[in-house]
Amino acid sequence: MEKTYKVFVYGTLREHEFNHHFLNGAVCLARQCWTHGILFDTGLGYPAMITDKVNVIYGELYEVNEIILKKLDWLESFTKQKESITNTNG
């Protein structure tokens, strides 16, 4: 059985946004959902999120396989070494 991952998207990966094509083949679990956090402007053309116990961020939830996850990691410049430092999702 193929391993899958749940990914919450809130920016350019949302439906009708310009990076949504990276989710081709993913299963949309929820078009309207939320998580606790705050978005801020990185100054690099995309938002970043930090967790927060009070505020909420609205987005979409997808189930992705390892191939799609690797594409998302590439898009986000995510590496395992950075995992404990930052993990943004545009």
DSSP states along 11-28: STTSTTSTTGGGGTTPEE
Instruction: Please list the alpha-helical segments (H only) found in the chain.
Output: 66-75
CB count within 10 Å of CB 58 equals 11
Q: Enumerate the active-site residues.
A: 76
